[in-house]
Structure 1
Amino acid sequence: MIYHHNRFVFKETTTAEQRAQALASLRRQGESIDAVKQYIVGRDVGGEFAYGAVFVIEDLDGYWQYLTAPSHAHTDRIGLPLLETFVSYDTTDSDDPDIGEQIAALHARRFAADPALTQLVTDIPSYTGSSAPAPAGPGPQG
């Protein structure tokens, strides 16, 4: 199993309506993507982040389905521009020593196919984790 985590803080300029729409879109991902076995979207408690989401996915094929689903693309387009800080990472019980590189390759493939998405991510003031594209200079870290 792969647990894909997202932790984030909205920009101070984000309205309550925009925040609600972004969180609802994350929930729609969990409801609409067949590869997602379980999910949670809500407050991130006990740390520096305000909100978080975790999507439980069975395997790499399901991870790719999750990454390329239309509902995921919709969340990216409406949510990423609202974020001040974003961290994504994965936890897995896989014994495959190459699982991290395989997950990173799926993200790289997705970014290579979608320059607009890559720009949305690059524009986030602070973005780190498994899905961060390689920085072109100051900006996201991977």
Structure 2
Amino acid sequence: MILHGIRFTLKPGVTPQQLEEALESLRNHGRIPPVTSFVVGRDYGGDYEWGATWAIEDLDRYWEYLIHPAHLHTDRIGLPLIDKMTSFDITDDPDPDVGAKIAALHQRRYDNIPDIAELVSDLGEYKGSAAPGPHGN
């Protein structure tokens, strides 16, 4: 099992309507077939305002999740609203190379879907799975 998560803080000036549209989009990509459960909501006890996690059974399904149209839609409407974000993965997979395999899936997605890589690169701060990072970092 892989728990994929994000934590994020919005840019100043994001409207309540924009926020709700982005949160609902995060919920929608939690409902796609590769995801077995999810949580989207406020992030407490850290440096971020919002967070989400999605449970995914294995790497093959993780790839399906990363390239699913609902996930790409969320990226395209949500990433422009975010100032800083971190993504993370927690897994009980005993494979010592699973972290590198997860990072490779993210990199493959960035390589094959350049507008998503550009949106992530334009964030004020991004840490996480195969993060291309802000321009100049």
Shorter-chain TM-score bucket reads over 0.9
SS at the partner of 1:94?
coil
* Structure 2 gap ranges (5+): none
Cα distance in 1 for residues equivalent to 2:68 and 2:133: 23
Q: Give the corresponding residue for 1:59.
A: 58
Q: Percent identity?
A: 51
Query: Unaligned stretches of 5+ in structure 1?
Result: none
Opposite residue 111 of structure 1, the aligned amino acid is: Y
Q: Deviations over 1:58-81 (max 9, x none)?
A: 000010010000000000000000
For residues 106 and 92 of structure 1, what CA distance do their matches in structure 2 show? 15
SS of corresponding position for 1:118: helix
The whole-number CA distance in structure 2 between the counterparts of 1:136 and 1:11 is 17
Provide the residue aligned with 1:91 in structure 2. Answer: 90
Q: How many aligned residue pairs are there?
A: 137
1:103 maps to which residue? 102
Deviations 1:83-131 (A, max 9, x none): 0110001000010000001001101110000111111001000001014
> 1:136 deviation in Å?
5.8
Q: Report whether the alignment pairs 1:6 with 2:11.
A: no
Q: What residue is the counterpart of 2:129 in the other structure?
A: 130
Match of 1:39 in 2: 38
1:18 matched to 2:18? The reply is yes
Aligned-pair CA distance for 1:133: 2.0
- Which residue is 1:73 aligned to? 72
Following superposition, the deviation at residue 134 of structure 1 comes to 6.0
Question: What is the SS of the residue equivalent to 1:76?
Answer: helix
RMSD: 1.1
Conservation of the 8 A alpha-carbon contact between 1:2 and 1:58: yes
Shift of 1:137: 2.6
User: What TM-score do the two structures reach when normalised by structure 1?
Assistant: 0.93
Q: TM-score, normalised by structure 2?
A: 0.96
